[in-house]
Amino acid sequence: MSTHDGHDHDHGDGEPHPGMVGDASLGYYGTRYRAIEALLIEKGVCTLAEINATAARQETRTPMDGARMIAHAWVDPEFKQRFISDPLAAMGELGYRLPDNVVDTPKITVLENDEDVHHLVVCTLCSCYPGTLLGAPPDWYKSLAYRSRAVKDPRGVMHEFGLDLADEVEVRVQDSTADLRYIVMPKRPAGTEDMSQEQLAQLITRDSMIGVSEALEPDRSPAA
Amino acid sequence: MNGATLPKYGPGDRVRVSSEEPEGHCRTPRYVQGRQGTVRKLHGSFRNPESLAYGGTGLPRQPLYLVEFGQPELWKDYKGAAGDRLWIDLYQHWLEPLNDRRISQ
């Protein structure tokens, strides 16, 4: 235990330290999380150090990591093939440190959008998400509204994100129910031929990698 | 090793999803139960989540398939296009053969 607030841990008043027991500020899920964490450690399933290391690693991942991978795939057709066939190996190729236990890491699958098919990813049963590439999911992805409507009315959901696709385009919803995690590779927008890989990555939003929108047009890029 | 259950289906096979609801946790959403779809791909074999959820070994491993459904067939008031599809990952023990292509073709 480290000391905190600049004082030693002995309060000398016999009271438990504020924050250690029944901390209302944690809320329901925070309290539940602490209870599960304590049980996992007590039963020897894992150590606090392992939990902290995993959390720290997940916090280092952001949607920009997925965007960099896809921008690389847009400009390098051979890398794109490797990215599609083995996304984790392709991450390693770009210098990303892979999870320590790759065997137990859910397999990531790339869903490539084209003129004929547009993919949309949802996990109706919980909130499965390709965290290894994108970090933590947005809150709306975990909401009951998204999880139920994305399968039943995907075009209605996409409309609310500003995307209206022609009826000729097949909307293919991927329900992420089991051992695989899905990331969408959006289409490369027209008029981006002269852009650098770094500029292209700015067009690839988190939402476009979930499939509720497409990649940004070049003049709508935040970097433009 | 406790091995794995052998795959029974391949790409193109028509299947029906079981509607026998097990007690407890499963990874087959209600909206596809009892529905007919087409196997697109065998992902491999994975531990059975219905056992893992309760501290079991998940063995024998179950073949896991990518199964396709037509959206208008899943939702009677579907508002999208006729060609829209739903793809979902389902474990073999949830699938029943709908017909035998070797006989029907």
Same-domain check for residues A102 and A49: no
Same-domain check for residues A70 and A89: yes
Residue type at position A191: G
Same-domain check for residues A93 and A40: no
Q: Which residues of A touch B84 (CB under 8 A)?
A: 154-155, 170-173
Same-domain check for residues A102 and A128: yes
Count up the domains in chain A and report the number. 2
**Which residues of chain A are at the B interface, by a Cβ-Cβ cutoff of 8 Å?**
107, 124-125, 151-156, 167-180
CB within 8 Å of chain A, chain B residues 82-101: 82-91
Same-domain check for residues A192 and A131: yes
Record the pTM. 0.85
Q: Which residue spans within chain A are E strands per DSSP? A: 107-112, 117-122, 170-175, 180-185
Same-domain check for residues A82 and A181: yes
Same-domain check for residues A45 and A155: no
How much is the ipTM here? 0.91
Cα torsion angle, A194, A199, A205, A209, sign: positive
Q: Which residues of B touch A168 (CB under 8 A)?
A: 81, 83
Q: What are phi and psi of B39, to 5 degrees?
A: -70, 130
**Residue in the structure block whose two tokens are 């650098």:** A196
| Residues A76, A73: Cα–Cα separation, whole Å | 5
| Residue A46 among the catalytic residues | no
Same-domain check for residues A123 and A13: no
Question: What pLDDT, in 10s, does the model give residues B71-93?
Answer: 999 999 999 999 999 999 999 99
Residue type at position A164: D
Question: What pLDDT, in 10s, does the model give residues A93-139?
Answer: 998 877 776 666 788 999 999 999 999 999 999 999 998 889 889 99
Same-domain check for residues A176 and A91: yes
Three state DSSP letters for A117-154: EEEEEECCCCCCCCHHHHCCCCHHHHCHHHHHHHHHCH
For residue A78, the SS3 value is: helix
Nearest Cβ partner of A175 from B46, B78, B88? B88
Domain of residue A11 covers 4-58
For residue A223, is pLDDT > 80?
no
Q: Do A171 and B80 touch (CB under 8 A)?
A: yes
* Domains of chain B by start residue, with CATH: 14-95 (2.30.30.50)
